Amino acid sequence: MGYHHQRVAALLADANAQHNGQRTAGETQDFCLAIERSMRGVKTVMRTANSAWVYMEGEDMAMGWVGYGDFQTSRAATDNKYAVYARGIRNMKYNDMNEQHYMRVALRMDVALKHAKTYLRRYSTTETGEALFRPVKEAVRKVASAAGSAYSACKVAVGVKADGYNDKPAQALIRELGYMVQSGHKFMDAELGGYVEAMLDAKKTFARFQDNDIVPMDFVRAYTMDYGEQRVDTIRIKDITSYRFDTDTEQQRTWLAKELPEELMGKVAVMSMCENEEFVEDVGYKVSENMFYLYAEDVTT
């Protein structure tokens, strides 16, 4: 299962739908009130009957959750305890696929409150980009698979072997056809000309996803500082198609929103017109109104 990252917008919508403004009761409520009073700007919202998400208004990601109950996985029932669940916790009694791996428990609330203050932290832009990448990875992989199938079908229509990726004569023929189209050649057989152009378009899309190639994307996050200044962070994900469980990131930049390069601004403008969680090939993926994954282009100031 791994760590459960949660967006604030989603958890608030879920809490409103499921709990209709209810608050947790008893020890859990007392724990939540103690956290809200001692951690500036922090709020809680009901997660289950005995647990609550912890978040900061205006932030994109929840800091974790807290609760009071039996959250351990022992065979016999144990005493109820205060629990803190956060991405920075490593309970080595459990492997990292268990929820308890990311949990600290305590019999006393004052001890649990110290755990909360230690481990419940805001997400950086890099952490946010690494937490939310899986849907866009799946979307890009689907495009990659479809691109390979489309390229093979187009080659067959032109008369080239579908599996001839390493067939030098076939590749030479495709290159020559490309040169002909670029030079403005008009095919006497218009239908064949259409097949050739479709094949070349499919080849261009497929080239991005060929074996041993990488597909870098930029995660873009816009936000407002406490004093009102609008900024945009970007991080480079080296290969969105990687089969690694996590991501490999580099090259973080922070821009004033008014100084964002035109290349990025144009793509953000396109994706802003889309629905949340919508993917547009050759442009990117929209997470929300302020977060996007965009196919990478090196930009300059």
Share of the chain above pLDDT 90, in %: 44
Q: 77: which 2 tokens?
A: 């029932």
Residues 6+ apart with CB under 8 A from 114: none
Question: Any idea which residue has 């390493």 for tokens?
Answer: 166
Q: Which of 119, 1, 138 is nearest to 62 (CA)?
A: 119
Q: Which helix (H) or strand (E) holds 291?
A: strand 291-295
Q: 24: which 2 tokens?
A: 């947790």
* pLDDT at residue 267 greater than cutoff 90: yes
* Cα dihedral across residues 165, 171, 177, 181: positive or negative: positive
Residue 129 exposed, middle or buried by CB count within 10 Å (0-12, 13-18, 19+): buried
Report yes or no: 283 and 270 within 8 Å, Cβ to Cβ. Answer: yes
- The DSSP call for residue 232 is E
Mean pLDDT of 78-83: 86
* pLDDT at residue 2 greater than cutoff 50: yes
What confidence tens digit (pLDDT) does each residue in 194-250 have?
888 888 888 887 877 765 567 889 999 999 887 888 999 999 998 887 766 566 777
* pLDDT at residue 294 greater than cutoff 90: yes
Question: Any idea which residue has 């390069």 for tokens?
Answer: 261
The CA distance from 296 to 182, in Å, is 26
Beta bridge mates, 275: none
The per-residue pLDDT for 45 is 93
Mean pLDDT of 102-110: 95
Q: 57 phi and psi, to 5 degrees?
A: -60, 135
* Cα dihedral across residues 152, 153, 158, 162: positive or negative: positive
* pLDDT at residue 95 greater than cutoff 90: no
Share of the chain above pLDDT 70, in %: 87
Cβ contacts of 100-109, under 8 Å, gap ≥ 24:
100/71, 100/72, 100/73, 102/3, 102/64, 103/71, 105/71, 105/72, 105/81, 106/81, 106/82, 107/79, 107/81, 107/82, 108/82, 109/27, 109/30, 109/31, 109/34, 109/82
The per-residue pLDDT for 300 is 43
Q: Which of 137, 121, 129 is nearest to 232 (CA)?
A: 129
Mean pLDDT of 125-142: 90
| Torsional class of 131: left (φ above 0), alpha (ψ -120 to 50), beta (otherwise) | alpha
What confidence tens digit (pLDDT) does each residue in 140-182 have?
888 888 888 888 888 888 888 766 556 777 888 888 888 888 8
User: Out of 65-69, 161-165, 183-187, which region has the weakest mean confidence (pLDDT)?
Assistant: 161-165
Residue 228 exposed, middle or buried by CB count within 10 Å (0-12, 13-18, 19+): exposed
The CA distance from 145 to 71, in Å, is 42
What confidence tens digit (pLDDT) does each residue in 23-49 have?
666 899 999 999 999 999 999 999 998
Residues 6+ apart with CB under 8 A from 142: none
Q: What is the largest CA-CA distance in the chain?
A: 84
> Chain-wide mean pLDDT for the chain?
86
Mean pLDDT of 269-284: 92
Per-residue confidence band for 299, with pLDDT thresholds at 50, 70 and 90: very low
The CA distance from 193 to 200, in Å, is 11
* pLDDT at residue 50 greater than cutoff 80: yes
Question: Any idea which residue has 């580099």 for tokens?
Answer: 250
Q: Which helix (H) or strand (E) holds 180?
A: helix 168-182
Q: Which of 96, 159, 89, 145 is nearest to 117 (CA)?
A: 89
Mean pLDDT of 101-120: 96
Residue at 229: amino acid letter = E
| Torsional class of 228: left (φ above 0), alpha (ψ -120 to 50), beta (otherwise) | left
Q: pTM (2 decimals)?
A: 0.79
